[in-house]
Structure 1
Amino acid sequence: MKRLILILISIATFTGYAQQRITIEECYNLAIQNYPLAKQSQLLETQYELDAEVISTAKLPQLNLDAQATYQSDVIEVPIPNSNIEPLNKDQYRATLSANQLIYNGGLTDASLNVKSAQLKTKQKQIEVSLYQLKQQINQLYFSILLAQESELLLKAKQTQLEAKLKEVVSGIKYGVILPSSDKVLEAELLKISQQFQELDSNKAALIETLSSLIKKPLEASTLFQNPLIETQLQNDLNRPELELFQLKKEEISQSETLISKLNAPKLLGFVTGGYGNPRLNMLDNSFQAFYTVGVKLNWNVFNWNSKNKQRKSLTINKDIIDTETEAFKLNTNIELNKQQKEIEKIEGFITSDEAIINLRKEVLQTADSQLKNGVITSSAYITELTNLYEDENTLVRHKIQLQLAKANYNVIKGQ
């Protein structure tokens, strides 16, 4: 017998450990990791590396191959009698290979790379902002499941109490203390509870399926959703990723300003050209031969019709726009925080009232229980009081879950 008890305890312990558990923080992390949008961050990184390699090729030698064959209606001739200088052929051929090496461009290449890097950070932060916004959606699903989970426990407690009371009523009917058919009322109420269980299970399954799809993790119907103890710090400091996004946008504009200042910088290049053709560099030598040239060249756009200043002014306006967006975001966020704080205070007041109401309901039910045993009231009257207590307890549970949800949303709005 002792061995059987130990086996049963072991099975129960294993089942408890084997039950799937999950926390709201795990849901946050899984959503950020597995949501399809999260893959874009790595894609943007790969794209940046490719763009950076393309821009950096400006520092490498640039090779150009040219070839041409032409026929001219006239050519240069030397007007000296008896000079024995043959005129050029009217059909001419030339093939050249040129190599240009950038020596100096005022830091234009590095400025272009810095702009690309700033754009990458901005785009990645935008993805982070989008993923962060999933948190409130997860909050709504998670705490709705938690409410269904707690409601099941309350309903189970009511069912257990009714089943125990049904045994007492059956016994009372047998000994003539309680009116006949009182047990039928209790049995009908138990059937209603079975229907309520089915409805709760259906709603909970739909919520779990939605959350599972959002976090990309299979969740069983028996999964235990742990109730978090959420605390809020009532202060004005915001830590939202949107604020970092606004700052990165301004940094991107600053890098664009630097790039604009480099666009008209002088560019110095070294070059070497080798070729083969007829005629070559010596126009008086009418034969196919090789030739080459080596040198440096300077390219400088000294006048751009004031376009650079206009571009800078446009970027400055963009910075001002971002500043106004930042201020609007802070204002709206603080308004939402204030609303959420009022919601928290309201629910806390409800909970205090709920607890007082439940204490009174328990006293009334205790009296009804005694009256039912003595045949003073019917089972219907007892069920009415039991249902009143159950509904008030359910209201308390709902308010507690709503309080946790309000606190979680407060923290999300604040960026905590």
Structure 2
Amino acid sequence: MKQLIIVLILLSVLPSVAQQTITLEECYTLVTQNYPLVKQSKLFDMQNELESDVISTSRLPQFNLDAQAIYQSDVVEVPIPDSSIESLNNDQYRATISVNQLIYNGGVTDASLNLKSAQLKTKQKQIEVSLYQLKQQINQLYFSVLLAQESKLLLNAKNTQLQAKLKEVQSGVKYGIILPSSDKILEAELLKISQQFQELESNKTMLIETLSSLISLPLYTSTLFQSPLLETQIKNELNRPELELFQLKKEEIENSESVLSKQNTPKLLGFATGGYGNPGLNMLDNSFQTFYTVGFKLNWNIFDWKSNKKQRESLLINKDIVDNETEIFKLNTNIELNQQQKEITKIEAFIISDLSIINLRKEVLKSADSQLKNGVITSSAYITELTNLYEDENTLVKHKIQLQLAKANYNVIKGL
């Protein structure tokens, strides 16, 4: 009974393994989820959180501990004869704790936090751009596997046809209708097909392993790669993540400019200092004393030799550079799209020709088949016509896959 249950389980599991399928869109999704570069996104989040916390500490009280012990070669003396005021000791000691509290800094802290947030968005978008650029690599691998998949089907059809023809020829040789050794020619061709199967399988395995590593999903030679239904939309605007990246770079520059514009604003701090030393604040009391001071402090850099202004002008130039990069990217992308559209048109024309050629080849092969049965031509002549048809059918398959690849690349370039 247990053995029966195990067999039933295996029978239910094996078909699901054998029928594993994958689509192009799934490959796109998997590479954006599993590619090692994705880990950097979380690392950037962690780094930004730590750096933002550091910036935010400027709002918290700042504590300083100072301690000193000194020996002076000379000290202040009161030049009054017979005075009861003692001279200070040559050795002096002091320990203080100071607290500084930022009250106002012109919004520098908020501006710095906004800049960090903008920098994080730029880094995250750069990761997205890098992952998006992997799509064309996915396309190349995916459609190469599709081509191997379709080529194998064609080769199977050719193999089946030759196997059937071999039986006919062997029967014809037996009864003296067909020349002797004609079957040997077909057997040799079947051996060549066996080699082609091995080569196809080897190439397909290599492609699948590469794609599997890229998307971090186990794939097998038995995996069915579904042929996508792709359409191109010529009139749509570009929707590439690079354009968003350029915009985020400009926003980062604007935030940097905001930080610079606030750096020269007045800064108001409150402070308090408590200490213990000899002497204390009363320099005429030559003993250890406790003391404290409280107050406010204003710091304002009113003249910086136009350093801040020049830094802001430099940032404006950076913004112009980003605008120029955006313009160049759009120009190159549109050129690439135009080339890809012409490639699509060319392949579509090829496919129409391929269909006409195949129809003619089928007529020729039909005639050759009849001639071989009647002993008019040799097996070599028949194989030549069969191979011609196979090669033209293979060319059609190749062109169909190339058309799909061209459309997929077009959509990736467009950002669809």
Q: Which moved more, 1:346-355 or 1:300-309?
A: 300-309
Match of 1:248 in 2: 248
C-alpha separation between the residues in 2 aligned to 1:188 and 1:279?
A: 111
1:280-306 alpha-carbon deviations (Å, 9 max, x no partner): 111222111211111111111111111
Structure 1 residues 13 and 302: alpha-carbon distance in aligned structure 2, compared to 1, 3 A threshold: closer
CA contact (8 A) 2:93 2:279 kept: yes
How many residues align structurally? 409
Structure 1 residue 397 displacement after superposition = 0.1
- Find the aligned partners of 1:266 and 1:44 in 2 and give their Cα distance: 33
Does residue 271 of structure 2 align to residue 271 of structure 1?
yes
Q: CA deviation at 1:374?
A: 2.1
Q: Determine the structure 1 residue equivalent to 2:231.
A: 231
Is 2:262 aligned against 1:289?
A: no
1:145 equivalent in structure 2: 145
Query: What are the Cα deviations for residues 83-108 of structure 1, in whole angstroms up to 9, with x where unaligned?
Result: 31222212111000001010000001
Cα distance in 2 for residues equivalent to 1:143 and 1:220: 16
Q: Which residue of 1 aligns with 2:314?
A: 314
Distance in 1 between the 2:235 and 2:137 partners?
24
Q: Give the match for residue 24 of structure 2.
A: 24
Cα deviation for residue 66 of structure 1 reads: 0.3
- Relative to 1, partners in 2 of residues 1:269 and 1:13: Cα closer, same or farther, differing over 3 Å? closer
Do the aligned partners of 2:18 and 2:223 also contact (CA within 8 Å) in 1? no
The worse-fitting range, judged by mean Cα deviation, of 25-34 and 245-254 is 25-34
Q: Deviations over 1:245-291 (max 9, x none)?
A: 11111001100110001111111111111100111111222111211
Moved >4 Å (runs of 4+): 10-14
Q: 1:17 Cα deviation (Å)?
A: 6.2
Give 3-state SS (helix, strand or coil) of 1:69's partner: strand
Which residue does 1:159 correspond to in 2? Answer: 159
Partners of 1:237 and 1:313 lie apart in 2 by 33
The equivalences for 1:15-414 within 5 A come to 15=15, 18-414=18-414
Cα shift readout 1:28-51 (whole Å, capped 9, x = no counterpart):
122222222221111111110110
Q: Distance in 2 between matches of 1:18 and 1:165?
A: 31
* Structure 1: distance between partners of 2:313 and 2:62: 35
User: Whole-Å Cα distance in 2 between the matches of residues 120 and 397 of structure 1?
Assistant: 46
What letter is aligned with 1:44?
Answer: F
Q: How many angstroms apart in 1 are the aligned matches of 2:93 and 2:385? A: 109
**Greater Cα offset, 374-383 or 399-408:** 374-383
Give the superposition deviation at 1:234.
0.9
CA contact (8 A) 1:23 1:227 kept: yes
Partner Cα distance (1:99, 1:260) in 2: 27
Instruction: Please give the alpha-carbon distance, in whole angstroms, between the structure 1 residues aligned to 2:246 and 2:304.
Output: 31
Specify whether residues 333 and 346 from structure 1 end up closer, same or farther in structure 2 by C-alpha distance, changes over 3 A only.
same
> What is the alpha-carbon distance in structure 1 between the residues aligned to residue 236 and residue 370 of structure 2?
55
Indicate if the aligned counterparts of 1:21 and 1:226 stay in contact, CA closer than 8 A: yes
- Taking the aligned partners of 2:39 and 2:16, their CA distance within structure 1 comes to 36
- Cα 1:30/1:52, change in 2 over 3 Å: same
The verdict on how the C-alpha distance between 1:12 and 1:43 changes in structure 2, with shifts beyond 3 A counting, is closer
Unaligned runs of 5+ in 1: 1-6
Is the Cα–Cα contact under 8 Å of residues 372 and 378 in structure 1 kept in the other structure? yes
Deviation of residue 13 (structure 1)?
10
Q: Which amino acid aligns with 1:260?
A: L
DSSP 3-state at the match of 1:287: coil
Once the two structures are superposed, what CA deviation does each residue of 1:61-100 show, in whole Å capped at 9, x if it has no partner? 1000000111122222223333312222121110000010
- Which position in structure 2 is the counterpart of 1:4? none
What is the CA-CA distance between 1:14 and the residue it aligns to?
A: 5.4
| TM-aligned CA distance change 1:391 to 1:12, over 3 Å | farther
Cα offset, 1:25, TM superposition: 1.4
Q: Read off the aligned partner of 2:40 and give its amino acid letter.
A: Q
Taking the aligned partners of 1:321 and 1:389, their CA distance within structure 2 comes to 57
Provide the secondary structure at the position in 2 that maps to 1:103: strand
- What runs of 5+ residues in structure 2 fail to find an aligned partner? 1-6
Contact 1:236-1:334 at 8 Å conserved across structures: no
Which has the higher mean CA deviation after the structures are superposed, 199-208 or 336-345? 199-208
1:195 and 1:100 mapped to 2: Cα distance? 83
Using the alignment, how far apart are the partners of 1:142 and 1:296 within structure 2?
69
- In structure 1, the partner of 2:4 is none
* RMSD across aligned positions (CA): 1.8
Write the distance in 2 (CA, Å) between the matches of 1:73 and 1:339: 87
Q: Secondary structure of 2:305's match? A: coil
* Worse-matched range after superposition: 372-381 or 229-238: 372-381
Q: Distance in 2 between the 1:319 and 1:379 partners?
A: 73
Distance 1:377 1:412 in 2: 52
Partner Cα separation in structure 2 for residue 259 and residue 11 of structure 1: 67
SS of residue matched to 2:95 = strand
| CA–CA separation in structure 2 for the residues paired with 1:188 and 1:391 | 18
Instruction: State the one-letter code of the partner of 2:385.
Output: E
Distance between the aligned counterparts of 2:73 and 2:313, measured in 1?
Answer: 55
Q: Is the 8 A contact 1:355 1:396 kept in 2?
A: yes
TM-score by length of 2: 0.95
Secondary structure, aligned partner of 1:92: strand
Q: Please say if residues 18 and 222 of structure 2, whose CA atoms lie closer than 8 Å, have aligned partners that are also in contact.
A: no
CA separation in 2, counterparts of 1:177 and 1:16? 50
